[in-house]
Amino acid sequence: MDRNQIIGFSLLAALLIAYIVYNNNAQQKYEAEKKADSIAYAKAHPRPAIDSTKIIEAAAKADVVNDSIRANMPAAYHGEAKTIMLENSKLALQFTTRGAYPTSALLKEYKTYGQKPLYLFNGKDNQLSLQLPVNNGSVATSDLYFTPVQEDRPNGGKAISFNADLGDGKRVVITYSLLKDDYMMQCNIRTVGMPATNMALNWQTQTLHTERDITNERTASQIYYRYMDGEHDYFTITEEKKEALEKKTNWVGFRMHFFNSTLIASDGFMSADVKATTKLDEQHVAQNKTTFALAAKPGNEQNIDLSWYIGPNHYSTLKSYKMDLEDMVPLGYGLMSFVKYINKWLIIPIFNLLSGFISNYGVIIMLMTIIIRLILSFFTYKSYLSAAKMRVLKPEIDELKAKYGDDQQKFSMEQMKLFRTAGVNPLGGCLPTLFQLPILFAMYYFFPSSIELRQENFLWANDLSTYDSIAQLPFNIPFYGDHVSLFTLLMTASSLFLALYNKNMTAQDPNNPMLKYMPYIFPFLLIGVFNKMAAALTFYYFFSNMISITQQFIIQKYIIDEKKIHAQIQENKNKPVQQSKWQQKLEEMQKTQQERAKQLPRKK
């Protein structure tokens, strides 16, 4: 590995470490600013207290008194909570007649890491409730009893209508409908006889632990949102997180590692107050409590149209809804946000093409690696060619060092002149390495986010979306973990072998020991990070290293001929050199500096 390649890899290490530090600092600053904004907003917009109505109190008492009292009250205030199902080929949703909201969501095409049925949420802590203006107070639909009516829709769709009679002409009808083969559920809430100036919709979800490592699940738990003007953003859920969305909002998504629950308003939410936490038991990952402000229309009847996505973070599926839901698949953000375009326009199309006719995702990763390396082969060849030219020129560079060793400025001028006359670009080995960095970072985001790799096995890895483990340690090693990932070890070993292989093939700079040892230190700097990363990613890096070793052997053994390169360099020296304007300017500056140095009085 020559000096320029080492510089490239050193820049890679510096970029990656700087990115991690910058991202952590930026996230902390962002959270602090958002917290201050939320506090200021709460002080400027205090929430009015919601009064319970007398009729609700009477209904509660009616549960423990005689049947004659309950019989005289409107039907919505007494009854028995029952469950009813709404399902299609993708989802099985269980609703309760007390509140008319889904209490559980089963995703039929997926299993948990332990191969059990996958419920995204399940239990009483999941709720969708609208505050209704009744008798100068408010009543939550979650406290009312509904009568369900199921119906079939065209093309195999299903629907349930929940009806609640509050008396005196007041009614609530909540209708949920599912297409035959879709994760998007439609929800319509219609109120009659209850005029309002504004309404509040409360949405609560508590997601279940479905993956291998709950710590990684909580780290990946985020709230995404999109305003009606198209602006969108997200924040990561910490132990306690509050956020005030003060603009008109199109949707709010509660994202887990591989699944999400997203509530969408066709007319937009006027604002939203989001509260989220990960301080839960080991069975639950995170909890979202969001209160939406809805604009009421004039008259006694209100219609609220919602869409509710409950499904996987599958890029193509989310993109098909054409409302930026695919942004919940993190393909690059922060300093590396530009790599999401590489993922969208290059990596994902290749991945989808290969997965269309190959079922083994390990083979797909290998083919992707080969295709990408072929695309980058021009830069790889240029890098090795530049290294060969530098090796050929090394004796002449050493002569210049011996001749102008005490005059660094003169040495630099003569060295540049040598490169120019020989037709050698000193950055030829460094720039190709830098051009490959975006692909490296694109893969860093792509593989851990791809639900297609979830629970796909390859060799000893039983799930390519999480780390492979060949041994579980009885203790935890700081910055490493409590398990041994074989793909990570192979990645590290292949990186070291590549560095050793390059040692005798490239010119070494004896004056800079850091450049000499950096290729051996770098793999160990990140071994702890990659030990916890997806097996697909570490396998990709390992296989990419093996291809690099093979490429370098073939190029240096059968393609690059150093004798021909030396002859070509000597021929270039005899040709007239045409300097670029930049080279001319640089040379003029150096000559001026030399003249000024001669005119300076010398110390005796």
| Residue-by-residue DSSP string for 290-330 | EEEEEEPPSSSEEEEEEEEEEEE--HHHHHTTSSSGGGGS-
Can you give the pLDDT at residue 515?
Answer: 56
Mean pLDDT of the chain: 81
Q: Please say if the pLDDT value at position 423 is more than 90.
A: no
Q: Which of 13-22, 193-202, 243-252, 379-388 has the lowest mean pLDDT?
A: 13-22
pLDDT in tens, 135-162: 777 889 999 999 999 999 888 899 999 9
Q: Please say if the pLDDT value at position 563 is more than 80.
A: no
Residue 545's nearest CA partner among 500, 499, 498 is 498
pLDDT in tens, 396-409: 777 777 777 666 77
Q: Which of 288-297, 489-498, 506-515 has the lowest mean pLDDT?
A: 506-515
- For residues 177 and 376, which has the higher predicted lDDT (pLDDT)? 177
Q: Please say if the pLDDT value at position 275 is more than 80.
A: yes
* CB contact at 8 A, 27 and 236: yes
Confidence of residue 419 (pLDDT cuts 50, 70, 90): confident
Q: Encoding tokens for residue 429?
A: 């080995």
Can you give the pLDDT at residue 370?
Answer: 92
Q: Please say if the pLDDT value at position 552 is more than 50.
A: yes
Phi, psi of 100 (to 5 degrees): 55, 55
Q: Which of 311-320, 402-411, 546-555 has the lowest mean pLDDT?
A: 402-411
Can you give the pLDDT at residue 376?
Answer: 80
Phi, psi of 121 (to 5 degrees): -145, 155
Percent of the chain whose predicted confidence (pLDDT) is above 90: 48
Helix (H) or strand (E) holding 514: helix 513-525
Confidence of residue 292 (pLDDT cuts 50, 70, 90): very high
Q: Please say if the pLDDT value at position 49 is more than 50.
A: no
pLDDT in tens, 79-129: 889 999 999 999 999 999 999 999 999 999 999 999 999 999 999 889 999
Residue 361's nearest CA partner among 217, 213, 212, 540 is 540
Q: Which of 61-75, 140-154, 172-186 has the lowest mean pLDDT?
A: 61-75
Mean pLDDT of 179-205: 92
What domains does the chain contain, in order, with CATH numbers?
A: 3-22+340-573 (no CATH), 47-53+81-328 (2.70.98.90)
